[in-house]
Amino acid sequence: MSQFWSKKAKEAKPYVPGEQPAETDVIKLNTNENPYPPSPMTLEAMHRAINSDLRRYPSPTVTELKNIIAAREKVAPSNVFVGNGSDEVLAFAFQAFFEPNKPIKFPETTYSFYPVYANLYDIPFQKVPLNTDFSIDVENLYDSVGGVIFPNPNAPTGLALRLGAIERILQQNTNQVVIVDEAYVEFGAETAVKLTELYPNLLVTRTLSKSHALAGIRLGYAIGNEVLIEGLERIKNSFNSYTINRVSLAGAEAAFKDEVYYSTTINQVKQTREWTSEALRSLNFEVIDSTANFLFVKPNMNAKFLYESLKERGIYVRYFNESKIDGYIRISIGTDAEMEQLVEQIKRIISS
Amino acid sequence: MSQFWSKKAKEAKPYVPGEQPAETDVIKLNTNENPYPPSPMTLEAMHRAINSDLRRYPSPTVTELKNIIAAREKVAPSNVFVGNGSDEVLAFAFQAFFEPNKPIKFPETTYSFYPVYANLYDIPFQKVPLNTDFSIDVENLYDSVGGVIFPNPNAPTGLALRLGAIERILQQNTNQVVIVDEAYVEFGAETAVKLTELYPNLLVTRTLSKSHALAGIRLGYAIGNEVLIEGLERIKNSFNSYTINRVSLAGAEAAFKDEVYYSTTINQVKQTREWTSEALRSLNFEVIDSTANFLFVKPNMNAKFLYESLKERGIYVRYFNESKIDGYIRISIGTDAEMEQLVEQIKRIISS
């Protein structure tokens, strides 16, 4: 530890993302990427953005992309914020809406970046227990002092709350901001975007990484009351005037105009998810009903052993060495061929 | 102001970047962009990165780009940090190395994002006066409590410190981090990178925005002792695992391999700068000797009037409504044709 580090740097507990193996001949089911490529229209728009204008800064206000997102989500452009991945959007939201000395609440088992942000920005937090079936116990999220955040569907479980349940959380936290992290919502859960009209304390965050197969361009956004959006802009504009590069902007704008392609690939992922669930259940694995592009699975053997055995066979899944979920693995949904290979290799591990 | 904003959001004083006009038929000399396009090799590499791999996250460690920068700067990869523009690198550095209750020092006239970061992260600061010729008074930067930051060359003056002067600042702040912001260094100042071997408290920041004509891809980096780099990584990995998208990574990697092209365009900018300095001096403008890709100029008329008159004629320059420099304008160096047009329009404004 360095004498030159700030207290903040010393006390930071950095997030550890899923492995990104350099080998390309592996089956990568560990970071919830989409198995299908971005649409040809998206790639074409990105090619067109590669020109001499790259010498210029991108738009600091990303007006065109905000207009497109607003039309898609049926809100005004002033209800839209755009960031360099939804992780950046969440980091700004923690700074804009949560405070030191006011504990926030989030589920005990959830996206493990939340406590990382909280540590970085000195925001105290309370992890609230889930029900024994891993569903979120809504009442545990009532009456927060400093705010609430949870993914819907939750990660890594894939379980979703219904809108009525989300509305009760909002009604029991009227003086605090409630962030619904909808990174995986397009794979089957209900979006809370329409509730942003009724609840000025609701921020919904989204990403193009999974649903639009664009993890590589880093593009996230948020929808909320314009006062919340202004709060995010104040933080962003105190941090970096230009967070989104020109080529990613072009790709995102095109992706939102090509929804037929993406709804087709999303439907394919959902079908493959159902096939995989059935196949794993027939091996006596416990599979939680998922509305995301991954499955949370309790194998009929040691979970860490299965994770390691699959890795030896060139299949990456995610294992969390964390209390209450260390008996499970999380499997991203790949192509049919990849999932057939997964099931085949699991059968071989069982019989070996 | 919103009841939902944190104290941080309420008290933020966001940076206001130079105007980014939507019109394309203007002469844009207000945000120090390079007038020449990125190299064909750079653009070609970016095209190649537009493929189905965009569905995957980029490298969280950006190892390949770090290796290339390390070779260029003659340091180890562990001495290199990469960020989404040098503004992001600076924002991380303020968090990693500066502290609440320990005032930092920077010049009174300098890059106006520094006080914005300081406000956002609760870091007190002392603005130290420049000499009357706008040069940095080195002794004023001695004995800081919390650290030092300054650009070399300074902005918006374009004046550079020699390495000996920087070394004295380092020797008089051995327990604090000193950040030398080298956004414009490739246009004529001496880099302090080689001092990073001797001084573990020195961080040098850089950008591809100006020298490599890549403001549109958002790519900045820092060089320093590996302990400082680790401090930056701890903050970055508590904020966003993947800050650099795949296409910008490919462009930056290629740009550093194509230095002949960029040194040619940098030399052209320097020649145009000298021509423009002479032309403006012959109009009785005071022109400060610049080692950057811009000129800081005191016109023989009201500076704001000149800024506004040029804007009416489709020429954007930068005017700072700020004590001590409100008699000046900052003019980015464009192509020869653009600068001839600038001088011609100034002549017409003078005679009208």
What is the per-residue pLDDT for B25? 87
Residues A12 and A75 in one domain: no
Pairing of strands A315-316, A27-28: parallel
Q: Mean of the pLDDT values across residues B134-145? A: 98
Q: Hey, which residues 132-191 in chain A have their CB within 8 Å of chain B?
A: 175-177
Total domains in chain A come to: 2
CATH number at residue A59: 3.40.640.10
User: Which amino acid would we find at residue A293?
Assistant: N
Cα–Cα nearest to B206, from B240, B238, B179:
B179
What is the per-residue pLDDT for A25? 87
In angstroms, the CA A306 to CA A346 distance is 8
Q: Hey, which residues 55-94 in chain A have their CB within 8 Å of chain B?
A: 55-60, 84-85, 87-88, 91
Tokens of A203: 């921020």
Residue A15's pLDDT band, with cuts at 50, 70 and 90, is very high
Per the prediction, chain B carries an average pLDDT of 97
What is the per-residue pLDDT for A139? 98
In angstroms, the CA B207 to CA B212 distance is 8
B268 pLDDT more than 70: yes
Residue B6 in contact with residue B319, Cβ under 8 Å?
A: no
Tokens of B234: 């701890």
Is B96 in contact with A28 (Cβ distance < 8 A)? no
Q: Which residue of B has its CA nearest to A233?
A: B14
Q: For residue A7, how many other CB atoms are within 10 A of its CB?
A: 10
Tell me which of A1, A42, A218, A338 to substitute to probe the interface with B (most B C-beta atoms closer than 10 Å).
A218
| Domain contains A192 | yes
B244-260 burial, b if ≥16 CB within 10 A, otherwise e?
bbbbbbbbbbbbbebee
HSE-CB for A142 with a 13 A CA cutoff:
9
Per the prediction, chain A carries an average pLDDT of 97
Cα–Cα nearest to A116, from A136, A99, A94:
A94
User: Which amino acid would we find at residue A90?
Assistant: L
Residues A266 and A338 in one domain: yes
| Domain contains A209 | yes
Torsion of CA B267, B271, B276, B281, to 10 degrees: 120
CA distance, residue B352 to nearest chain A CA (Å):
33
Neighbouring residues of A133: CB distance < 8 A, sequence distance ≥ 6: none
Of B256, B286, B307, the one marking the end of a domain is B256
B339 pLDDT more than 70: yes
B337 pLDDT more than 90: yes
Q: What is the pLDDT of residues B301-312, one digit of tens each?
A: 999 999 999 999
Neighbouring residues of B179: CB distance < 8 A, sequence distance ≥ 6: B90, B93, B97, B147, B148, B149, B150, B203, B204, B205
Is A4 in contact with B228 (Cβ distance < 8 A)? yes
Of A206, A227, A256, the one marking the end of a domain is A256
In angstroms, the CA A12 to CA A2 distance is 13
> Cβ contacts (< 8 Å) between B5 and chain A: which residues?
96-97, 227, 231, 234
Pairing of strands A294-298, A315-316: unpaired
Residue A223 in contact with residue A73, Cβ under 8 Å?
A: yes
HSE-CB for B101 with a 13 A CA cutoff:
2
Instruction: Give A40: exposed, middle or buried? Use CB within 10 Å, 0-12, 13-18, 19+.
Output: exposed
> Cβ contacts (< 8 Å) between B98 and chain A: which residues?
6
B13, B98, B246: residue with CB nearest A216: B246
B2 at interface of A, judged by CB pairs closer than 8 A: yes
| Domain contains A344 | yes
Residues B141 and B168 in one domain: yes
A5, A116, A239: residue with CB nearest B96: A5
Q: What is the pLDDT of residues B309-329, one digit of tens each?
A: 999 999 999 999 988 999 999
B7, B59, B84: residue with CB nearest A240: B84
What is the per-residue pLDDT for B1? 62
Cα–Cα nearest to A234, from B112, B119, B25:
B119
CA distance, residue B304 to nearest chain A CA (Å):
24
Q: Which domain holds residue B68?
A: 40-256
Q: What is the pLDDT of residues B165-190, one digit of tens each?
A: 999 999 999 999 999 999 999 999 99
What is the per-residue pLDDT for A264? 98
B280 pLDDT more than 80: yes
Q: Please calculate the CA angle B302-B114-B7 and round it to the nearest 5 degrees.
A: 110
> Cβ contacts (< 8 Å) between A6 and chain B: which residues?
95-99, 231
Residues A144 and A225 in one domain: yes
Q: Mean of the pLDDT values across residues A252-281? A: 98
A15, A97, A99: residue with CB nearest B241: A15
Residue A105 in contact with residue A115, Cβ under 8 Å?
A: no
User: Which amino acid would we find at residue B31?
Assistant: T
Residues B132 and B269 in one domain: no
Residues A250 and A272 in one domain: no
A241 pLDDT more than 90: yes
What is the per-residue pLDDT for B102? 97
| Domain contains B1 | no
- Which residue shows structure tokens 């965009």? B54
User: Counting one residue from A and one from B, how many pairs have CB atoms under 8 Å apart?
Assistant: 273
Residues A160 and A250 in one domain: yes
A239 at interface of B, judged by CB pairs closer than 8 A: yes
Residue A24's pLDDT band, with cuts at 50, 70 and 90, is confident
| Domain contains A1 | no
Instruction: Give B170: exposed, middle or buried? Use CB within 10 Å, 0-12, 13-18, 19+.
Output: buried
Rg of chain B over CA atoms, in angstroms?
A: 20
Q: Is the previous residue joined to A103 through a cis bond, with omega within 30 degrees of 0? A: no
Strands (E), chain B: 27-28, 80-83, 104-107, 125-128, 148-151, 178-181, 202-207, 220-224, 286-287, 294-298, 315-316, 318-319, 329-332
B51, B55, B59: residue with CB nearest A36: B55
In angstroms, the CA A341 to CA A335 distance is 10
Residues A81 and A163 in one domain: yes
Residue A20's pLDDT band, with cuts at 50, 70 and 90, is confident
Residues B239 and B317 in one domain: no
B23 at interface of A, judged by CB pairs closer than 8 A: no
Residues B244 and B140 in one domain: yes
Of A230, A256, A282, the one marking the end of a domain is A256
A217 at interface of B, judged by CB pairs closer than 8 A: yes
**Percent of all residues in chain B with a pLDDT value above 90, rounded to a whole number:** 95
Tokens of A67: 């207009």
What is the per-residue pLDDT for B71? 98
Residues A268 and A251 in one domain: no
Residues B202 and B335 in one domain: no
CA A101 to chain centre: 27
Q: Please calculate the CA angle B307-B310-B311 and round it to the nearest 5 degrees.
A: 85
A6, A36, A176: residue with CB nearest B99: A6
| Domain contains B341 | yes
Classify residue B107 by its DSSP letter: E
User: Which amino acid would we find at residue A9?
Assistant: A
Q: What is the pLDDT of residues A182-207, one digit of tens each?
A: 999 999 999 999 999 999 999 999 99
| Domain contains A2 | no
B202 pLDDT more than 90: yes
Q: What is the pLDDT of residues B229-246, one digit of tens each?
A: 999 999 999 999 999 999
Residue A236 in contact with residue B77, Cβ under 8 Å?
A: no
Cα–Cα nearest to B84, from B265, B262, B239:
B239
3-state secondary structure A222-270: EEECHHHHHHHHHHHCCCCCCCCCHHHHHHHHHHHCCHHHHHHHHHHHH
Residue A1's pLDDT band, with cuts at 50, 70 and 90, is low
| Domain contains A335 | yes
Helix axes B246-256, A246-256, angle to 10 degrees: 150
Report the DSSP beta bridge partners of residue B29.
none
In angstroms, the CA A296 to CA A277 distance is 10
In angstroms, the CA B269 to CA B295 distance is 12
Q: Mean of the pLDDT values across residues B195-201? A: 98
Residue B58 in contact with residue B249, Cβ under 8 Å?
A: yes
In angstroms, the CA B164 to CA B148 distance is 16
Tokens of B147: 């650290």
A336 pLDDT more than 90: yes
CATH number at residue B343: 3.90.1150.10
